[in-house]
Every structure is written in C-alpha cells, then in structure tokens.
Structure 1
Amino acid sequence: MKHFIIPVFIPHFGCIHSCVFCNQQKITGRNTPVNSQEVADIIDEHLGRITEKRHIEVAFYGGSFTALTIEIQSELLKPAYIALKAKKIHGIRLSTRPDCITNEIVQNLMQYGVSTIELGVQSLDNKVLEASARGHSCSDVFEAVTIIKNMGLFCGLQLMPGLPQEDWKSLIRTAQGIIKLAPDFIRIYPTLVIAHTRLADMYHEGSYKALSLTTGITYGAFLKLLFDQYKIPVIRTGLQATEELDKSSVVLAGPYHPAFGEMVDSYIFYVMLAHFAELVLLLKESTDEIIIHHHPRDTSKVRGVSNSNMKKFKSTYNAKNIILKQDGLHINEVIVEYQDIYYVINKKMLFYI
C-alpha cells in the first residue's frame, strides 16, 4: 500500500536555539505557528483529496516539536489522535531535537498515538555540532535514541553532511556512530547555505566553504551504500524541491538540485559500471559489444540524468558499443555481458567493512 503523508509544519516554534544553517521560514514557507483547529483543517483538507487506498500518516515537521510545552504538544496532537482513533489515518510521526527528548515527553506522545520520532542529529562529531551552534552533544543523541527505542517507538535520524568543521574522517565517524545506534531509517540532507542565516554570513566571509554538487552526491552515495550494508533504509536524500528553494536568492550555495536523490542513485550505478571497467577493460579501447542487463525500474539510474552515466562511461573507458537491456531480474544489480563472459555487480560488491 502506498504511503500518504499529511504534513503539518511547526517552523522553529518553541526552539530556543539558532543553528547556523537554520532559516525555517525559507525551508517550510511559514513563519507563524499553527493551532489545534488549523491542524484539524489540514487533516480534513488532505483526507478529502485521497481517492485511493493509502497508508496515511500525519507528520509534524519543523524540527523542534518537543521543544514546545507539554500542553501545546498535546493540543496540536489531539486532532491527529482523533483521526487515528476514527481510523481515518494510520499513524502519527514528528521530528524534533535530541536534547528535547525525555521519558515524560515520549510517554505523553505515546498517549496521543505517536509511533515514529525523527531526530535532527546532523552529526555525531561534537566539534561539528559546536561549530554549527546545534546546542546539543553527541551524548544527547545516544540518550534520546535509547529512550525512544526503550519505549518501543520507531526512530529515524536526519543527517546533514557538509556542516562547518566536518571532513571525510568526521563524516565516517558519524556514519559509524549511526550504525551503532541502529535507527529504523535515515534521511540525508546535505548542508545548504540559505539566505539570512549565520552560515550565509560565514560563506560570504570565506570562513565556510559549501559542498559542491559533485561532493554532495559523493557523500550521499557513500552513506547510502554504507547504511545499506547494515540494512538501515535511507528514505530520502536531499531536501524536497519547492518553488522557494528553487530561487537563487534563497539557496546561495551547496549541493541543491531538484533531482538530487536520483543523481545519488545514478552515481552509485556509475560506480558499479566503473567497477567492472577497472577490472576488465583496463582503460583500453574496446570495440566489442558491452551489454548491460538491468531491471526495468533501474533504467534511468543506469543511464544517469540526461544520459550522463553512459556519456561518462564511454569517454572514460573508450567503450564504443554499449547496449542496454531491461531484462534484469533484480533491482540494484547489473549484469555486464562482455566477450561471452557475464559479470554480476551489485551494491554489496562495492563496499567492504
């Protein structure tokens, strides 16, 4: 059954911190809080649009839901809980900060039917967290995840590769820490320089260098491949495209692209093909047919955005005659047929831990 999310945005309401990257109004398109009646109206409006059978969840976004008082949390959750009890929706989820999780808070959330909590972790490097003015430490993350899991709720974590003071070693250590935490899912949001933020000032001053699109894609691919080895689903890479984020006056720098997630997946497929080429073609010109068998659902990823994978593969490895066949049996796998030999390549072959 397909999922349908009813989003309710609580932009920066209740949060006492001002992270260097944060401009919630630009990200969510809102700068005022919602009330209980508005939550009920949002739910009813979305329910009225659904014509097919779906797994429906109400999601409170904004990153600091549990920074609100218990009373306000309860008020906002009531309309969703009423819809849940009436079986109009199937679940309630929210996103919040690691340092705004306690046993009391989670127990209250459970009373109103919340089943999933996402934590804006961003990094597990205290140096990076401090440079980003996050206001919490790595230990806060581990404590929050422990509480959520002990209560039997689903726990998701959000990461922001490319924050100030982060490098490859820091990112790897963060990834290793995430594996130890064993969340139910991950979202990857590479750091963007949003207008009217402290990070924008740092960028203009030259004290912060934003990730390029290429590096952001590489980071995303690394994390997806690594987490896949430990069966931790990455359910999103890159911010959801909006008209606001598409404006050059809003996103000043960083790896933003409306098709960022597709570009990450395509890059992984290119690495799979390059793995074959480095082992077999040895950079020699090849006029023999190279037949790439793949699952029909992976066609766009094998080709790459605007056929970029095929163009790069041909030019890098002097491959003159490539044929794509949509007859593969397994998603995320290619079988390369070359000189009467079949080479099976999948994600697991690309990463060794």
Structure 2
Amino acid sequence: MGLDRDPRSFDYSQFARKKVKRSFGLDEGKREAAEYAAKLLAIGKTSLIEIKKSASKKFPMKGVLRNSDILAVLEGKGRTKNALRLLLKSPTRTLSGVSPVAVMPKPFPCVGKCTYCPKGVNAPQSYTGFEPMTMRAMQEGYDPHKQVAVRLQQYSQQGHPIDKCHLILMGGTFLAVPEKYRHEFVKGCFDEFNGFKARTFEEAKKANETAAHRVIGATFETRPDWCFEKEIDDALYLGGTQMELGVQTLSDKVYEKVQRGHTVADVAKATKLLKNSAFKVGYHMMPGLFATPEEDEEYFRMLFEDERFKPDMLKIYPAMVLKGTKLYEQYKKREYAPYDTETAAQVIARITRYIPRYTRVMRVQRDIPSTLIESGVKHSNLRQLVDAKLKKMGVRCGCIRCREIGNTERKEGEGGRNDRMEEEIGSKAGKRREIGKIKLGLNRFDYNASNGEEIFISFEDREKDFLAGFCRLRIPHGSHRKEITPKSALVRELHVYGSEVAIGKDEKGKAQHRGMGRKLLFEAERIAAEEFSMNKMVVISGVGAREYYYKTGYAADGVYVSKNI
C-alpha cells in the first residue's frame, strides 16, 4: 500500500478515469413528467413513489424520474415546504447552516512516519484511496476547479442552497506541501466559487465577498508541529478560519512508540498560537493507540481539564490496523491489538462525560471501507452504538452537535420544531425569545484555556437542551499577529444553527437570519469592553462572511475584520 514513487512526478491525467456529466438539461419527456410531478406536489400530494409512477406513465421518457429532475423545474410558489421536504436529499449536510465543500490536493510525501498511517497508492498521506472523498478527488484528477464544481452541482441537484459554503482542505499535512502549489490550489477553489479566474489571489478573495457562492469559512488539516507562527500566518492568508490538529493522544511515550515525531508540548504550543490568532481549533483523537481503556479515559479527562488544550471541536477515530503499515507488522507479531467495536463504543461512551458544552463532536470513526480493516472497529455505525450505550447509562451527550437546533428540524418529523417558530419577543440581548414551543435565553459559560479567558455566549433553551447559536469570545494574553493589539478581544466563532437559508432571505420557520447572530456579537462587544476594558474587537471572518460584519460597523483589518469598541 506504500507510495512507490514521488507523487510529484505522477501524470495526474490518469486520475480522471470517469467523466462527470455536467449538463443537467432534461429531455422533453422527462421535463413534462417533472412538471407534472411538481404540480401534484403543489396541490398537496405526499406519496413521492405514486407521484413518480403517475408522471412516468403519463409521459414517456428515457431513464427514471429523479428527485433532482423535479427540483430542477420547481419555481416560485411550487417550492413549498412540503415539496422540498419530500425531495431534498441528504438534508443533514446543511443542518448546521452551511454547505461543506471538501476538496483534496494531489498526493505529496508526508513529513511524518507514523506507524499507523495508511499510505494509499496515488492517494494523499493518511488516506487509503478508497474513501468516498478520496475517490471523488481522484476521479477529478485532484483538480480544485472540478472538485468544487462537482460538489456545488450535487448540492444544487439535491435542493440545497449553495450561497454559503465552508471549504475543507483534506488530505495529509496541507501546510507542509510546497507553497506555490498550496496557494494555486486554494486560489483555484476560490476561482470556481466566484465563477471566473482572477488575476491574483487577493482579487479572488475580494470577489468572493459578494460572490454567488461565498466561502464563509475554511478548514485546514495539519500536524501540531506544522502549525506554528509561519504556518498559521499562511493559513490566515489563504482564508483559513478553522484548524484541525492530528493530536491522537496526550502521551509522549505513545508518540515515541508510533514514531509520531512531535511532543505533547507541541500540541499545547500550536493550540495556544491558534487561539491567540482567533482560529477555531479541532483535535483528532485516536483511542486504543497503545492505551488501555483506563488510560484513554485519563487522556480525555486531561483534554478538557488541562487548560493547555480544551479544543473547540473533536473527531474521535479509534485506532485500526491496515495492511501496509508498520502497525500491521506489530499486530501480526502480537505486539499490538486495537479495540474491537464493543470496547471502542464503551470507551467513547465513558469519555463522553468529560466533553463540555462548548465542544462539538464532529465525527466518530473514520470513513474507511471495512474490507480494508485488518483489525479494529469494522462496524460503520459506531456513533449509534455509542448513543445506545449512553442511553443505557442514563447519560446524554451535551456537545454542540447533539444540541444544535437544526437537528430538531429533523427529529420532530413533519417539518420539525422550527416550522412552528414565531416572531421574536423583545429585541435586546438578554431577553428571552419565544420561538414556537422553544424558549431561548442568552447564556454564558466562562473558562480558562491556553493562557487566556474564553467566554462561550449562547442562545439556548436550557429546559429542552437546545442550542440555537453561539459566539466564542477570547481575551488573549499576547499574540504574534500585528492586528491583535494588547487591548484587543477576539471573536473566534459566531454561528447560528438551523437549515441553511439563502443570503438575503428570511424563511419563516428557520433558525438562521432571525437576528441572533447580531445579538451574540453585540453581547461579546459589551463583555469585552465593560468587563475586560478592551477597546478593539477582532473577528476571524471567512472571506465570504465579511459583508455581514461590514454591515455592523466592522472594517477589513489585514486578514481579519475589526472595529473599535
């Protein structure tokens, strides 16, 4: 499974094995059938199977009538809530309010030599080449334009708004690849979002502030030892707002055993530098990596009780054994054994009690085909198994993902709770807002992290344990960024949850665009000025989100937006 030659010498045209059909026009018969189906939906018909059968019998056509065909002809009043509910595919992808667009750069040799890491043929480091994301990237020849274009087309076909997007740079240690390629790749992504090729990256970023498809945030994956001042500055230049660190464990002994090449001190240093640069910080953790269940539980306790760490987001990937890795050789010699599915689920359920309400568990388990896993968790429903154990233990996960109000739109079935939202009561931050049967109040949680004060401000229904939106305010004690003065406070994240609503619209019954974002921002400004005597607020804003801040008195300030408070 190892790379047999320098990936930079590859002919990447070989990856474009299958052309994606980019023309989505309908033939006459299918268009007539789709329009007929749309009319049936408009008058309240709810059986999609019967609607399609009826339309197909009435109008001869090639192939089958797809949901996307009907969505393509829905216009104006025809795009009813009922129609979209029936036709929308993969609704959970935009439940957090934004459409994620993941892309992958071409393979480069990794700076690390980790014993557990798969090295797929013609695939980026740490990927096997058989993950759905990797296969999509390979299919497009790792071309940034094509990867973005195909993803946007898919979302549009499925009925999702695509004006607010979050760019995710996956695949190895992106900040360690050659700078020229790194910059050209990200610019290529922005050019595709913008719909034209800009002369410079600065021009591309400026255009995206008002583009049809705005990049409201960008995530990079990297190693802790490749995330110091230089790398952070470059990530900011590229429009980065979120960093995911491959932490895996909090043991130097384990790092040495798996030839990780960095220390726990590097993790703490990178975390502090990131937070003091206003980044959101995510950790990838790997239970079962030369650890007992008791040791893993201690690592996770340390993760959230030791103020050197305290990540904002978490991905939990239990260690697994794959062929072609050094860990596989140790496994064959019986020098190592990973957790089985039952043990992994039990360990994750137990460590859930340490996860605070300000952290979002983004993922549990890697997306690797079970046929490639020699030993370890082979079930694809690990998160559901963990949830079942939590229920049995009488414990409920309080992380952001489990409480975000967007999920209630799905859990409530027909339409969801948010469909019963009413106008807000009161206009000042601090007053309770009644939204249907959900009562939102302004809440606050203070904690120390990375030698700074963190204030997690949120709109929540504490009785029902629903989270509608939040703001991460940080009072740093020093930063290497010139924009961040000694009297600056930082907004590291401002997020309102709920299904995505197109920019400039205010759909009745949706959590976004109800003024909560501005109220959270104003409250952050008040706290920073009145309680900490700060005179400047610096916000890490995605390029495509800057216009939102401009409307509230902020101005461009280097890679940030800021205003005097």
* TM-score, length basis structure 2: 0.45
Question: Which segment is superposed worse, 60-69 or 140-149?
Answer: 60-69
| C-alpha contact (below 8 Å) 1:10/1:34 kept by paired residues | no
Q: Secondary structure at the match of 1:155?
A: strand
Q: Take 1:10 and 1:130, find their aligned partners in 2: how far apart are those partners?
A: 29
Question: Which segment is superposed worse, 101-110 or 82-91?
Answer: 82-91
1:280-299 correspondence to structure 2 within 5 Å: 297=411
| C-alpha contact (below 8 Å) 2:173/2:222 kept by paired residues | yes
Q: Take 2:322 and 2:172, find their aligned partners in 1: how far apart are those partners?
A: 16
| C-alpha contact (below 8 Å) 1:298/1:331 kept by paired residues | no
Q: Cα gap change, 1:215/1:119 in structure 2, threshold over 3 Å: closer, same or farther?
A: same
| C-alpha contact (below 8 Å) 1:28/1:62 kept by paired residues | no
| C-alpha contact (below 8 Å) 1:221/1:264 kept by paired residues | yes
- AA at the equivalent of 1:59: I
| C-alpha contact (below 8 Å) 2:113/2:259 kept by paired residues | yes
Tell me the residue number matched to 1:6. 101
2:173 to 52, 64, 78: 64
1:54-203 correspondence to structure 2 within 5 Å: 54=162, 55-82=164-191, 83=193, 85-86=207-208, 87=211, 88=213, 89-164=215-290, 166-179=291-304, 180=307, 181-203=309-331
- AA at the equivalent of 1:172: E
Tell me if 1:239 matches 2:366. Answer: yes
Q: Take 2:299 and 2:283, find their aligned partners in 1: how far apart are those partners?
A: 12
Tell me the residue number matched to 2:333. 205
Tell me the residue number matched to 1:226. 354
Q: Secondary structure at the match of 1:93?
A: strand
Q: Secondary structure at the match of 1:27?
A: coil
Q: Take 1:37 and 1:196, find their aligned partners in 2: how far apart are those partners?
A: 23
Tell me if 1:46 matches 2:154. Answer: no
Provide the alpha-carbon RMSD of the alignment: 3.0
Query: Cα distance, 1:176 vs. partner?
Result: 3.1
Query: Cα distance, 1:37 vs. partner?
Result: 7.7
Q: Secondary structure at the match of 1:222?
A: helix
| C-alpha contact (below 8 Å) 2:119/2:324 kept by paired residues | no
Question: Which segment is superposed worse, 261-270 or 60-69?
Answer: 60-69
Which consecutive unaligned segments of at least 5 residues does structure 2 have? 1-93, 121-126, 194-204, 396-409, 414-462, 467-565
Q: Take 1:4 and 1:143, find their aligned partners in 2: how far apart are those partners?
A: 31
Which consecutive unaligned segments of at least 5 residues does structure 1 have? 274-295, 300-328, 333-353
| C-alpha contact (below 8 Å) 1:70/1:105 kept by paired residues | no
Query: Cα distance, 1:99 vs. partner?
Result: 0.6
| C-alpha contact (below 8 Å) 1:8/1:60 kept by paired residues | yes
Tell me the residue number matched to 1:252. 374
Q: Take 1:60 and 1:110, find their aligned partners in 2: how far apart are those partners?
A: 14
- AA at the equivalent of 1:104: K
Q: Cα gap change, 1:140/1:161 in structure 2, threshold over 3 Å: closer, same or farther?
A: same
Q: Take 1:194 and 1:231, find their aligned partners in 2: how far apart are those partners?
A: 34
Aligned length: 275
Query: Cα distance, 1:42 vs. partner?
Result: 0.6
Q: Secondary structure at the match of 1:172?
A: helix
Q: Cα gap change, 1:24/1:267 in structure 2, threshold over 3 Å: closer, same or farther?
A: farther
- AA at the equivalent of 1:175: F
- AA at the equivalent of 1:107: D
1:262-277 correspondence to structure 2 within 5 Å: 262-272=384-394
Query: Cα distance, 1:169 vs. partner?
Result: 4.3
Query: Cα distance, 1:36 vs. partner?
Result: 10
| C-alpha contact (below 8 Å) 1:121/1:159 kept by paired residues | yes
Q: Take 2:355 and 2:268, find their aligned partners in 1: how far apart are those partners?
A: 18
Tell me the residue number matched to 1:347. none
1:332-347 correspondence to structure 2 within 5 Å: none
- AA at the equivalent of 1:79: G
Question: Which segment is superposed worse, 82-91 or 96-105?
Answer: 82-91
Provide runs of 4+ in structure 1 moved above 6 Å: 31-37
Q: Take 1:129 and 1:298, find their aligned partners in 2: how far apart are those partners?
A: 45
Q: Take 1:14 and 1:140, find their aligned partners in 2: how far apart are those partners?
A: 21
* TM-score, length basis structure 1: 0.70
Query: Cα distance, 1:110 vs. partner?
Result: 0.9
Is the radius of gyration larger for structure 1 or structure 2?
2
- AA at the equivalent of 1:124: L
Q: Secondary structure at the match of 1:57?
A: strand
Q: Take 2:119 and 2:464, find their aligned partners in 1: how far apart are those partners?
A: 40
Q: Secondary structure at the match of 2:241?
A: strand
- AA at the equivalent of 2:276: N
Q: Take 1:173 and 1:151, find their aligned partners in 2: how far apart are those partners?
A: 29
- AA at the equivalent of 2:370: D
1:27 to 105, 125, 128: 128
String of CA shifts for 1:254-295, please: whole Å, max 9, x gaps.
12311111111111111118xxxxxxxxxxxxxxxxxxxxxx
Tell me the residue number matched to 1:15. 110
Q: Secondary structure at the match of 2:167?
A: strand
Question: Which segment is superposed worse, 79-88 or 129-138?
Answer: 79-88
String of CA shifts for 1:279-315, please: whole Å, max 9, x gaps.
xxxxxxxxxxxxxxxxx9499xxxxxxxxxxxxxxxx
Q: Cα gap change, 1:263/1:202 in structure 2, threshold over 3 Å: closer, same or farther?
A: same
Q: Take 1:148 and 1:36, find their aligned partners in 2: how far apart are those partners?
A: 32
Query: Cα distance, 1:138 vs. partner?
Result: 0.4
| C-alpha contact (below 8 Å) 2:327/2:336 kept by paired residues | yes
Q: Take 1:133 and 1:123, find their aligned partners in 2: how far apart are those partners?
A: 13
Q: Cα gap change, 1:269/1:24 in structure 2, threshold over 3 Å: closer, same or farther?
A: farther
Q: Secondary structure at the match of 2:355?
A: helix
Q: Take 1:121 and 1:34, find their aligned partners in 2: how far apart are those partners?
A: 30
Q: Secondary structure at the match of 1:48?
A: helix
- The percent of aligned pairs where both chains have the same amino acid is 21
1:283-322 correspondence to structure 2 within 5 Å: 297=411
